[in-house]
A and B are shown apart, each in its own frame.
Chain A
Amino acid sequence: MKMNRRQVLKAGLAASAVYSPWMIARAQARPVKFAAILPLTGAFAFAGNAGLEGFRDAADRINDAGGIGGRRLELVVEDSGYDVARATAAFNRIVQRESPEELVFVYGDSTGTSKALAPEITRLRLPYSATSFSNELADPNTYPTIFVFGPTYNDMAGALLQQIRLQRGRGAKIFLCYSNSEFGRDPIPFIKDRAGKLGFQIVGEEVTPLAIADATPIVTKLRQTQPDFVIMQGYVLTVEPLVVRAAREQGIRATFMGTYYSAELALMQRAGAAADGFIVTYHNAYYYDTTVSAVEQIRALRRAKGRDLSYRTTYYMGTWMVLDAVAEAMRRAHAAGRLTRPGLIEALENLGDYNAGGQARNMRWVNHRLPFTKLWRANVRDGRFDAITDWVDGSKL
């Protein structure tokens, strides 16, 4: 049967009338996917599970408010076991299985995994962030799709060194204790370089595994070198309590310092009174700080859902903040008709005016990182960390 032009036009109009709403509805019904590769088992399971809870709560809040332009935000979760090979396999599974139109963001774990995956993430033009705050990842020239939702370990170390300068001035004696891992080694060259410029003396250096049976050899070196400050890096509260306890037991009065992963209440819970005065960097809000509006939002959501209102860890707060900000970027990309991987990168880069409700200083990136942090001091009597500085801009240190 041969159709004339008029009939073809009519058929086209009829088809579009029938299919367009269906197509639109189908597009809207398609979820937006956010993949999270977290250490849900193994030595870092405490951080991975808390982080997942943060993601789930944030996703519930986003979906309860209508999702991303009517599309449901869906989490794709895989366990890494804090193992680079396992995390890489999980990443490959996810990117092969999920459609690029739906999967627009991946959140990974560890400095080691993120560094291993970075070239592939860049090749796929996939927006990515991770539990890692490695300096190497905050480099948009090399890795234009990777965002670090916080200061890098160098920024954190810079803030600690600034505090040392304020407390002690030139000539301060610093002892470095770090884990023999990517995580542990990351800021060490920066610290050494910066300490030299500030006139500090690195009087000792100790490299340990991620878990140790005994802190005595470390404390022996502290006794020999008598530092004013001990900076601990690359641990997650398995080593810091042992060292600080053993040090106090032996009468060492140095000020202990750590970065983001030491900034959890478990430090005091594990080290007891010895943790008092331990200085850490931390760039989100603590769950007990009810003056922060984001904390109120979290509590309101958990109350409404009938969930446990007791203390949530820093790992929870961090992932909540990441998904809250990424969802805002998704909304903006959707509003611009570009909820794609490149569209999301552009939206993330222009997120500077977003108010994260006190969960971050602001969303203005400096080399794809948010360089602001605060310093906090462990207060064992009250069982919390007290802020001892306002926001410190790590990019200017």
Chain B
Amino acid sequence: MDLALVIQTAFNGLANGALYAVIASGFVLVYRATSVVNFAIAEFMLIGAYLTYTMSLFFPLLLALLLALPPAFIFGLLVERGFVRPLLGRNVVAVVMATIGLAAALDGATLLLWGPDQKAMGAADVFQLPKEMPNLAFSLGGVFLSSKAVWSLVLALPLALLLVVALKYSRYGVLLRAVSESETAALAMGINAPRVVAVAWGLSAVMATIGGAFLAGAAGGGGPGHHLILLGLIVFPVAILGGFDSVPGAVVAGLFIGLIEAFSQLYLESLLPGITQAIPFLIVLLVLLFRPYGLFGQHRIERV
């Protein structure tokens, strides 16, 4: 076995996994705050990618990505205020159906707002070439890391880790934990629970924007489009593997699934076509069978 190849595959897998981790940690954050499974998370990525695209028409790409984050945060707040808050306390099925409906509505909205044409970051029309992030690709001892991989590792991974640390040590993290333990008790303690929850949705949209922008080719190739929804499905196995209510779990699971995918694509795909797509979901099946609370989820005992 070629050691350089294994190292390279591992790094690229971790880089992809960092993107999965950053999106999934936002998804889990919302679940912790509101117990709502956001089935529209892939559409959050889509909206984030299109916001980055819009900014990229006027600014360099890295700046465009940073400038897309405030509107993404506001978008998350609006979703929470318009769709989620009126449904809190209702039947879980109603909330699930609402987020599925939200996904369909956001799909339609992106088509209406940005049109169906294929787009590339920074290119206003089909005759323009795309804008790109500074090229950070490098080769060392036979190990090649693409610019996208480096950007994912230097931007997405620290961000996901920052979220983990912030939730553990910051005041907001404590407030969020209080709200997720018992919203009623948190309100009784004078915590502004609706604000805490709204911020969770906003942060989730920000995380999805970073992941979506990179998956949409912010670091080269591709562009925003509905194929992101196919890619966004990976969030569910990552979140389930991580424990669904654990942000550190989502980060570890994202990195793990990124690694598994990379090695599967390299070694298994030609033997079993389609296996790479299936593997995350096979892992989910195993997790649900043998460890339903995932790697880091709370092991709850419910009496019925």
Q: Which residues of A contact B (CB under 8 A)?
A: 40-46, 48-50, 180, 204-218, 220-221, 224, 237-238, 241-246, 249-250, 264-266, 268-274, 310-311, 313, 380, 383
Q: Which residues of B contact A (CB under 8 A)?
A: 5, 8-9, 12, 15-16, 19, 107-108, 111, 115-120, 123, 125-130, 132, 135, 137, 144, 146-149, 215, 217, 220-223, 225-231, 234, 261-262, 265-266, 269-270, 273-274, 276-277
Give me the 5 closest cross-chain CB pairs, A-B, nearest first.
A211-B227, A217-B265, A207-B273, A242-B221, A266-B118
Contact A180 B149 (CB under 8 A): no
Rounded to whole Å, the gap between the CB of A18 and the closest CB of chain B is 51
Not counting A45-B226, A49-B117, a sample of 12 additional A-B residue pairs whose C-beta atoms are within 8 angstroms of each other reads A204-B270, A208-B276, A209-B276, A216-B12, A221-B266, A241-B222, A243-B221, A246-B220, A269-B127, A271-B130, A272-B129, A274-B221
Q: List the B side residues contacting A44 at CB < 8 Å.
A: 226
Rounded to whole Å, the gap between the CB of B251 and the closest CB of chain A is 17
Q: List the A side residues contacting B125 at CB < 8 Å.
A: 310-311
Contact B266 A211 (CB under 8 A): no
Q: Across the interface, name the chain B residue whose C-beta is closest to A211.
A: B227
Contact A311 B126 (CB under 8 A): yes
Contact A270 B144 (CB under 8 A): no
Q: List the A side residues contacting B225 at CB < 8 Å.
A: 43, 46, 238
Contact A242 B230 (CB under 8 A): no
Query: Which of A44, A238, A241 is most buried by chain B, counting CB atoms within 10 A of its CB?
Result: A238
Q: List the A side residues contacting B132 at CB < 8 Å.
A: 272
- Given A207-B274, A210-B227, A269-B130: A45 in contact with B9 (beta carbons within 8 A): no
Q: Across the interface, name the chain A residue whose C-beta is closest to B149.
A: A216
Q: List the B side residues contacting A238 at CB < 8 Å.
A: 222, 225, 227
Can you offer 9 A-B residue contacts whose CB atoms are under 8 A?
Answer: A210-B230, A214-B149, A216-B146, A238-B227, A242-B221, A246-B146, A249-B135, A269-B129, A269-B130
Q: List the A side residues contacting B129 at CB < 8 Å.
A: 268-269, 272-273, 380
Q: List the B side residues contacting A42 at CB < 8 Å.
A: 107, 226, 229
- Given A180-B277, A207-B274, A242-B217: A217 in contact with B266 (beta carbons within 8 A): yes
Q: Across the interface, name the chain B residue whose C-beta is closest to A240.
A: B221
Contact B266 A215 (CB under 8 A): no
Contact B123 A214 (CB under 8 A): no
Contact A46 B118 (CB under 8 A): yes
Q: List the A side residues contacting B9 at CB < 8 Å.
A: 216-217, 220
Q: List the A side residues contacting B115 at CB < 8 Å.
A: 49
Query: Which of A216, A224, A265 is most buried by chain B, counting CB atoms within 10 A of its CB?
Result: A216
Q: Across the interface, name the chain B residue whose C-beta is closest to A216.
A: B12
In the bound complex, CA of A272 to CA of B128 (Å): 9
Contact A270 B116 (CB under 8 A): no
Contact A220 B226 (CB under 8 A): no
Q: List the A side residues contacting B117 at CB < 8 Å.
A: 46, 49-50, 313
Q: List the B side residues contacting A211 at CB < 8 Å.
A: 227-228, 230-231
Contact B231 A270 (CB under 8 A): no
Rounded to whole Å, the gap between the CB of B73 and the closest CB of chain A is 24
Contact A269 B118 (CB under 8 A): yes
- Given A180-B274, A214-B149, A273-B129: A49 in contact with B230 (beta carbons within 8 A): no
Q: List the B side residues contacting A237 at CB < 8 Å.
A: 118
- Given A41-B107, A213-B215: A245 in contact with B220 (beta carbons within 8 A): yes
Contact B5 A271 (CB under 8 A): no
In the bound complex, CA of A41 to CA of B115 (Å): 11
Q: Across the interface, name the chain B residue whose C-beta is closest to A383.
A: B127
- Given A45-B116, A311-B126: A207 in contact with B270 (beta carbons within 8 A): yes
- Given A213-B16, A220-B266: A272 in contact with B130 (beta carbons within 8 A): yes
Query: Which of A207, A265, A313 is most buried by chain B, counting CB atoms within 10 A of its CB?
Result: A207
Contact A205 B118 (CB under 8 A): no
Contact A265 B221 (CB under 8 A): no
In the bound complex, CA of A239 to CA of B233 (Å): 17
Q: List the A side residues contacting B269 at CB < 8 Å.
A: 206-208, 217
Contact B229 A43 (CB under 8 A): yes
Contact A209 B230 (CB under 8 A): yes
Q: List the B side residues contacting A220 at CB < 8 Å.
A: 5, 8-9, 266
Q: List the A side residues contacting B148 at CB < 8 Å.
A: 214
